[in-house]
Amino acid sequence: MFDFKYFTPTKVIFGKDSESKLTELIKEFGGTKVLIHYGGGSVVRSGLLKRVTDALDSAGIAYVTLGGAVPNPHLGLVYEGIELCKKEKVDFLLGLGGGSAIDSAKAIGYGVANEGDVWDFYDYKRTAKGALPLGVILTIAATGSEMSDSSVITKEDGLIKRGYSSDFGRPKFAILNPELTMTLPDYQTACGCTDIMMHTMERYFSNGGNMEITDALAEGLLRTVKKNAVILRDNPKDYDARAEVMWAGSLAHNGLTGCGSDGGDWMTHKLEHELGGLYDVAHGAGLAAIWGSWARYVFKDCLHRFKKFALNVMEVENKGTDEEIALRGIEAVEDFYRSIGMPTNLRELGVEPTEEELKLMAKKCAIGVGGAKGSAKLLKEEDMLAIYRASV
């Protein structure tokens, strides 16, 4: 096992009506002028934005609002948010929604607290020295951004989608009310479940430093999400299933399921980020579409983990060679994805890249990871291209 740092400073308030604690929390973390940042309007339609502004009015907390964060959130709106915060002397950010609104808020927070172009952080040119404090009310269980150090932004010029990770970006508090996720379209619920599982699987499929306790947590989390994703497919209003998935989403990406490992593989995410940047697909669906091709390409180099996963998570029959068991596990994941309406290749995802576009994605992906990346198997540009080709 490897030494590790585990830092999860986010205060979590979980359960029905937990948003009633909002103004107390903003005051606790020193907010006096708030930017409420949200997405394309689901929080307007659900009434959440109105309840939030009413609560801030009653508590005498000043605020400004900025909506419009799109899935695969854009840098342009981040710049707009930074200007607005400076002009209005905002000292606290409130992200309402999913990973896109929260990530966009994180980027605004870096931009306000640091001089220069905020894209430099996403372009690996320098690191942030601070950020505005951020609180979130989550409306979709998926990315784990509510506790994670990551933020993923797309630069419109060149459609470059990049992530930046810094402990400064971790939210001060996260309000998690599973009921707020009940208005989600079924497709987004399934995308979220896929992303949650993938955050744990990226850490699980590694060739370095695995711990029994971490594996047990990871396997339990994966089985829980797999089970509850199917419950939600059949009954989207099941509160307990919403709650299981929501908490799993936070734990899947706050570092817990990676303690002691080498950090994990993360190549499915890197390959997906190119798809998201170029074709604007939903992140979870993009992951599902690419994972099987990635897994078949790498599994022999990480056979012991694929076998363990097949037996302990996908619960396949323990019969035949290790390779047969591992492959049965991969097939079981794809069957599961299909069962919740997720794609298992690019065609099912709805994109049909040309050979030139596949090459472009492989090239951008290789640049984005600094040449090569992967723990299950180290992948270079030619490997990335082979996986993209296999996923068509």
Residues that bind ligand NZQ (CB under 6 A): 39-43, 71-72, 97-101, 103, 139-140, 142-145, 148, 150-152, 180-181, 183-184, 188, 192, 195, 253, 269, 276, 283
Contact 374, 258 (CB under 8 A): no
SS3 call for 74: strand
Of 176-184, 190-198, 237-245, 352-360, the segment contacting Zn ion by CB under 5 A is 190-198
Q: Which 3-state string (H, E, C) describes 257-303?
A: HHCCCCCCCCHHHHHHHHHHHHHCCCHHHHHHHHHHHHHHHHHHHHH
Closest contact distance (angstroms) between CB of 203 and ligand NZQ is: 12
- Smallest distance, ligand NZQ to C-beta of residue 311, A: 26
Decide whether 119 or 312 has the Cβ nearer to ligand NZQ. Answer: 119
- Rounded to an integer, what distance in angstroms lies between the CA atom of residue 128 and that of residue 121? 7
User: Using CA atoms, how far apart are residues 382 and 268, in angstroms rounded to an integer?
Assistant: 15
Please report how close the Cβ of residue 124 comes to ligand NZQ at its closest, in angstroms.
Answer: 16
Q: Which of 166, 172, 76, 168 is nearest to 122 (CA)?
A: 166
- The DSSP-derived string for 325-352 is HHHHHHHHHHHHHHHTT--SSHHHHT--
Residue with the two structure tokens 């030139």: 356
What 3-state class would DSSP assign to 208?
A: coil
Q: Does 219 bind Zn ion (CB under 5 A)?
A: no
Report how many residues bind Zn ion under the rule CB under 5 A: 1
Cβ 25 to Zn ion, closest distance in Å? Answer: 26
CB of 174 to Zn ion, least distance (A): 17
Residue placing its CB nearer to ligand NZQ in the complex, 287 or 325: 287
Q: Binding pattern to Zn ion, positions 139-178, x when CB under 5 A?
A: ----------------------------------------
* Residue 171 binding result from ligand NZQ, Zn ion, none, given CB thresholds of 5 to 8 Å by partner type: none
For the bound state, the minimum distance from the C-beta of residue 229 to Zn ion, rounded and expressed in Å, comes to 15
**What one-letter code names the amino acid at 254?**
N
Least Å from the CB of residue 268 to Zn ion: 9
Interface segment toward Zn ion; rule CB under 5 A; list 149-157, 192-200, 303-311, 325-333: 192-200
What is residue 115's three-state secondary structure? coil
When binding is defined by CB under 5 A, the residue of 19, 195, 202, 244 that contacts Zn ion is 195
Q: C-alpha angle with apex 155: 151 to 156, nearest 5 degrees?
A: 140
Give Cα separations from 2 to 6, 100, 209, 238, 309 (angstroms).
12, 32, 5, 39, 21
CA distances from 222 to 177, 185, 204 (A): 21, 22, 10
Identify the residue whose tokens are 């931009």: 111
Smaller CB separation from ligand NZQ, 270 or 305: 270
Cα 121 from chain centroid (whole Å) = 18
Q: Report angle CA 332, 254, 116 to the nearest 5 degrees.
A: 120
Supply the DSSP symbol for 95: E
Residue nearest to Zn ion (CB): 195
Q: How far is the CB of 30 from Zn ion (least distance, A)?
A: 31
CB closer to ligand NZQ, 71 vs 292: 71
Q: Using CB distances below 5 to 8 A depending on partner kind, what does residue 209 bind out of ligand NZQ, Zn ion, none?
A: none
Strand bridging mode 150-155 / 160-165? antiparallel
- The residue (of 31 and 98) whose beta carbon lies closer to ligand NZQ is 98
Residue 214 vs 250, nearer CB to ligand NZQ: 250
**Cβ closest to ligand NZQ, residue 40 vs residue 220:** 40
Q: Which is nearer to ligand NZQ, 71 or 374 (CB)?
A: 71
Q: Which does 180 bind (CB under 5 to 8 A by kind): ligand NZQ, Zn ion, none?
A: ligand NZQ
Of residues 118 and 285, the one with the C-beta less far from Zn ion: 285
Closest approach of Cβ 165 to ligand NZQ, in Å? 8
The nearest distance, CB 4 to Zn ion, in angstroms, is 21
Note every long-range contact of 323-332, with CB atoms under 8 Å and residues 24 or more positions apart, other chains counting.
Answer: 323/299, 326/299, 327/296, 327/299, 330/292, 330/295, 330/296, 330/299, 330/306
Residues forming contacts to Zn ion in the complex (CB under 5 A) are 195
